[in-house]
Structure 1
Amino acid sequence: MAPSILLLKTRSSPNDGYDDYFSANNYTPTFVPVLEHRFHTSNLAEVRELFASGAFNPEAENTKSTQINTYEHTVVPSKHYGGMIFTSQRAVEGFAHMIEEHGLPSIPSIPLYTVGPATARTLTTLRDKYLPTSTIHGADTGTGENLAYMMLDHYNDLQKTGTSATSSTSSHPPPKPGLLFLVGEQRRDIIPKTLMNPMLPESKRIDVQEIVVYETGEMDSFETDFKTHVQGYNGEEGMWVVVFSPSGCEAMLRVLQLGPFAATATANATAAEDGSKRKVFVATIGPTTRDHLRNKFGFEPDVCAEKPNPEGVAEGIRRFMAGLNN
């Protein structure tokens, strides 16, 4: 029987790839939220109004969409957008929450750009339900930087196709619409910087507007909740703790009495050298969190996933346990 796994993250909604994968492979996954996410309802209302105003409708400059005449704030938009960017599952969830609460006043067909399989899965569920004619791109790009370079080619090609299709009816085609990027309060700026780089030819640059739709902070109850789960474990197969970000690392090590929080330096060294005597093992989703544990706490996790997905974590655990048993 596979060991139990504590996943130090919030379970994604409506489905979570880690829950689906580990449950299907005879693991017992348990989610212990580290971060608290709060949606910015006023900013999400602004996103809805963009849909209502026809900002995603290329014809809205000359006419109002008949789909949205019932919306009381319908206006011809001052800016137009040709697609949306999501690099966070929380941003997708915030967008979905807005739609579920208030509906979507228009249903455009637009490209949706994302990075990483987990966010892509969540976005696919939303797309299938609310934006059925839209397309999803970038799930395999792996990083925001790779996604940005992919968009420079893909989105510009889409716009060229659209412009050529309307060139016969207008001698002055409209300017290239930008992309709307739904983000959290804390984020990297690699995507806007890459797409709007002034060193690019003007024809290739893509305007990006960021709207903050959620904020994140460490949960006050995390350490207590994590300790309760650890103390309640009495299995024989060993427990794995999977860490997804630097947030919560200190509390995690303190509860497990690892790294600088070990009872004694000798006990810590012995546990590190002889993993067979331990009942709890630590895996990180990638090198950023691993390096944080190394550099700040002097702790070396047992596994660092080669790929930041359920399969990558599971493969790292499998290899580690095979080496331990040999």
Structure 2
Amino acid sequence: MQRILLLKNKTAQKDKYETTFQSYGFEPVFVPLITHTHVPQDLLQLLENNAYLAQLQNIIVTSQRTVECLYESVLPRLEAPAKQSLLQKTVYAVGPSTSDFLMRIGFSNVKGGSDAGNGSILADIISSDISSQFPKPEPLLLVGEIRRDIIPKKLSSAGILVKEVITYKTANMPDNLIRFQHHATEGSWVVFFSPQGTEDIIEFIKKANYKIASIGPTTQEFLKKKGIKPSVVSFKPDEQNLLNAIISANTGSI
């Protein structure tokens, strides 16, 4: 059984990377590198404003961490009418995992998902949907404290302004390299999901025999700058495309 080291936090409720890789005979092991702290106060204050909630049409979510904040720290604290109203809003999500998670917690109109593998593509989808509306609605963009500004910049160029609200903060966990070494075995696959928290691990794996996978081109470019060429890059940022890439590499078909 080949080990797959997933350098990420395990998703609350159900993590599809775990179930998908297990179903194909791999041994997925999560090695979380960063801690997440929910900061729901600003969002709650906004959503408890009945006038704002009534006019809100679109929400943008780029991370499963934001969905966890909604599920654990926002929805349970809203009054029933506000909760029902929120769950009926159109939500634009990056990637299928985030989209699926949103639907599992009760959002009924989720767009993007598997059709939006990154923020730039999602911004194009949003712009196509609402740029012709007048007056243009102001989407609510829910983000982490550390984030890229691709979506607001691209939407702004299309005349669409967004309201950004931070929903979580992140920090590197202590002893990332020690915990990685504890789980790593010769010939393991190591999957990088983002640059954050990986510095010590990158220096270590340069001297070791691991197969490297990147979840997408942004992380791939980061790894290349650090002197590491990934064996595979997932075609889309989801568990099935990552699995397919790794299986192809293992069978020598790429």
Q: Which of the five TM-score ranges fits, normalised by the shorter chain?
A: 0.7 to 0.9
Partner deviation per Cα, 1:77-112 (whole Å, 9 max, x = no partner): xxx321211011111111111235413442123211
Match of 1:258 among 205, 211, 217: 205
Residue 121 (1) aligns with residue 118 (2) = no
Q: Distance in 2 between matches of 1:115 and 1:289?
A: 16
Partner deviation per Cα, 1:242-263 (whole Å, 9 max, x = no partner): 1111223332234xx432xx3x
TM-score, normalised relative to structure 2:
0.87
Residue 219 (1) aligns with residue 173 (2) = yes
What amino acid is aligned across from residue 83 of structure 1 in structure 2? N
SS at 1:245's partner residue?
A: coil
Matches within 5 A, 1:26-41: 26-41=25-40
When Rg is computed on C-alpha atoms for both structures, the one with the higher figure is 1
TM-score, normalised relative to structure 1:
0.69
Residue 94 (1) aligns with residue 69 (2) = yes
Residue 242 (1) aligns with residue 182 (2) = no
In the alignment, which residue of structure 2 is the partner of 1:181? 141
SS at 1:181's partner residue?
A: strand
Residue 136 (1) aligns with residue 136 (2) = no
1:136 Cα deviation (Å)?
A: 0.8
Partner deviation per Cα, 1:194-227 (whole Å, 9 max, x = no partner): 2232xx4xxxx33310001111121113222212
In the alignment, which residue of structure 2 is the partner of 1:190? 150
Q: Distance in 2 between matches of 1:18 and 1:47?
A: 34
1:185 Cα deviation (Å)?
A: 1.0
1:305 Cα deviation (Å)?
A: 2.2
In the alignment, which residue of structure 2 is the partner of 1:55? 52
SS at 1:36's partner residue?
A: strand
Q: Distance in 2 between matches of 1:112 and 1:101?
A: 19
1:188 Cα deviation (Å)?
A: 1.8
In the alignment, which residue of structure 2 is the partner of 1:286? 216
In the alignment, which residue of structure 1 is the partner of 2:24? 25
What amino acid is aligned across from residue 168 of structure 2 in structure 1? Y
Is the Cα–Cα contact under 8 Å of residues 45 and 98 in structure 1 kept in the other structure? no
Give the superposed CA RMSD.
2.4
Q: Distance in 2 between matches of 1:246 and 1:304?
A: 14
In the alignment, which residue of structure 1 is the partner of 2:225? 295
Is the Cα–Cα contact under 8 Å of residues 117 and 236 in structure 2 kept in the other structure? no
Unaligned runs of 5+ in 1: 58-79, 161-174, 263-267, 269-277
Partner deviation per Cα, 1:159-203 (whole Å, 9 max, x = no partner): 57xxxxxxxxxxxxxx55421111011112222222232xx4xxx
Q: Distance in 2 between matches of 1:302 and 1:191?
A: 29
* C-alpha spacing 1:177/1:303, structure 2 compared with 1 (3 Å): closer
What amino acid is aligned across from residue 32 of structure 2 in structure 1? P
Aligned length: 248
Task: List structure 1 runs of 4+ shifted beyond 4 angstroms.
Answer: none
In the alignment, which residue of structure 1 is the partner of 2:58? 83
Unaligned runs of 5+ in 2: none
In the alignment, which residue of structure 2 is the partner of 1:229? 183
Q: Distance in 2 between matches of 1:209 and 1:86?
A: 12
What amino acid is aligned across from residue 230 of structure 2 in structure 1? P
What amino acid is aligned across from residue 221 of structure 2 in structure 1? D
Is the Cα–Cα contact under 8 Å of residues 34 and 219 in structure 1 kept in the other structure? yes
Is the Cα–Cα contact under 8 Å of residues 48 and 78 in structure 2 kept in the other structure? no
| Identity percentage of aligned residues | 34
